[in-house]
């Protein structure tokens, strides 16, 4: 009955509340002078979104920053001790290093593979069917993908698909998930498998936005396919590649599910988000967990700032 009540509230009460707010806002505007009403209407429409962002984004961010300078119980101010702990331990620095590896390798592989697939798919007859197959892993949760690939990486050839192939070829089973630094690369490959479809779809849409007349003119002038790609396609596709790369960098920085399910950070595969989870729920170190969250936030801010500046530059050109 509780779930039924929650479903009814979500399906009926929330839409009615939104409609009621819109009617109330328009009623207030209609009773105001035209100039005042025109000035206040945008803010009335933005108010629910601003309230939502303030409650669920701004307030938790500020609270986390404040919490990071207190002890595990939150009753004693410790200053930057939690940050000193983070940057003074080998295991946390290892997690930071692994996140850097995730950012570089995942972004390069996904963008490269997605671009190659987008270029090839654009030339085949059954484009829609092929895109659906490549995009299919996006429909699977990261937890489910982690479980699937953990079984595929199993050291037992009777369970692990990869080791079954290795032993069939005459080799010895490989401990894919417990052999550093190979295990980090194998975890990243799971992320590549998950995100390649996303990159392919976005880049394929960008390719279709390039004028075919421009490409044909270059070919008529004697340019081969490599020159057409380097001189025309790649420069025109650069803004789209930047969007995909930015999304992948943020995903790599906050990666958690795959590592948690497949290794739980063991065997030198720890990442920042998984370390934060352990400090909060296993060690009950709320201050340290908050400090790790702030470090992750600081790492993401430059990426977002670069993306915002790029969007502003594009809008200025338009």
Which structural domain range is residue 12 located in?
2-67
DSSP characters for 189-239? HHHHHHHHHHHHHHHHHHHHTS-HHHHHHHHHTT--HHHHIIIIIHHHHHH
| 70 DSSP β-pair partners | 77
Q: How far apart are CA 99 and CA 94, in angstroms?
A: 9
Q: Considering the domain boundaries, does residue 73 fall inside one?
A: no
Residues 51 and 137 occupy one common structural domain: no
Q: Based on the fold, state whether residues 209 and 242 are members of the same structural domain.
A: yes
Q: Please give the tally of structural domains in the chain.
A: 2
User: What are the tens digits of pLDDT across the range 177-222?
Assistant: 999 999 999 999 999 999 999 999 999 988 888 888 888 888 888 8
Is residue 102 domain-shared with residue 196, that is, in the same domain? yes
- Domain-embedded: residue 76: no
Same domain, 179 and 272: yes
Among 83-97, 166-180, 207-221, the range scoring the smallest mean pLDDT is 207-221
Average pLDDT for 7-31? 85
Does 41 share its domain with 91?
no
Asked whether residue 140 is domain-assigned, the answer is: yes
Residue 72 within any structural domain of the chain? no
211-244 per-position pLDDT tens digit = 888 888 888 888 888 888 888 888 889 888 988 9
Residue 150 located in a structural domain = yes
Please say if the pLDDT value at position 62 is more than 90: yes
Look up the pTM and report it.
0.86
Do 246 and 99 share a domain, yes or no? yes
Q: Are 123 and 256 in the same domain?
A: yes
């Amino acid at each position: 009955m509780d779930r039924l009540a929650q479903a009814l509230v979500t399906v009926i009460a929330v839409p009615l509340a939104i409609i009621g707010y819109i009617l109330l806002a328009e009623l207030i505007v209609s009773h105001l002078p035209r100039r005042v009403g025109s000035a206040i209407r945008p803010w009335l429409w933005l108010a629910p979104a601003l309230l939502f962002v303030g409650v669920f984004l701004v307030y938790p961010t500020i609270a986390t920053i404040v919490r990071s300078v207190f002890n595990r119980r939150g009753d004693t101010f410790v200053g930057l001790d939690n940050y000193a702990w983070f940057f003074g331990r080998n295991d946390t620095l290892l997690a930071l290093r692994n996140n850097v590896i995730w950012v570089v390798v995942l972004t390069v592989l996904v963008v490269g593979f997605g671009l190659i697939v987008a270029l090839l798919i654009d030339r085949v007859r059954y484009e829609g069917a092929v895109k659906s197959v490549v995009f299919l892993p996006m429909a699977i949760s990261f937890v489910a993908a982690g479980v699937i690939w953990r079984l595929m990486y199993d050291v037992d050839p009777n369970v692990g698909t990869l080791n079954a192939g290795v032993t069939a070829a005459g080799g010895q089973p490989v401990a894919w998930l417990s052999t550093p630094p190979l295990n980090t690369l194998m975890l990243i490959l799971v992320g590549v498998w998950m995100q390649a479809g996303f990159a392919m779809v976005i880049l394929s849409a960008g390719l279709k936005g390039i004028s075919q007349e421009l490409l044909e003119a270059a070919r008529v002038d004697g340019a081969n396919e490599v020159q057409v790609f380097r001189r025309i396609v790649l420069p025109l596709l650069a803004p789209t590649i930047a969007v995909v790369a930015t999304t992948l960098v943020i995903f790599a920085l906050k990666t958690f599910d795959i590592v948690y399910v497949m290794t739980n950070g063991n065997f030198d595969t720890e990442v920042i988000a998984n370390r934060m989870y352990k400090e909060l729920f296993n060690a009950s170190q709320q201050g340290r967990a908050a400090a790790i969250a702030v470090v992750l936030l600081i790492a993401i801010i430059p990426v977002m700032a670069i993306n915002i500046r790029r969007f502003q530059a594009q809008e200025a050109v338009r």
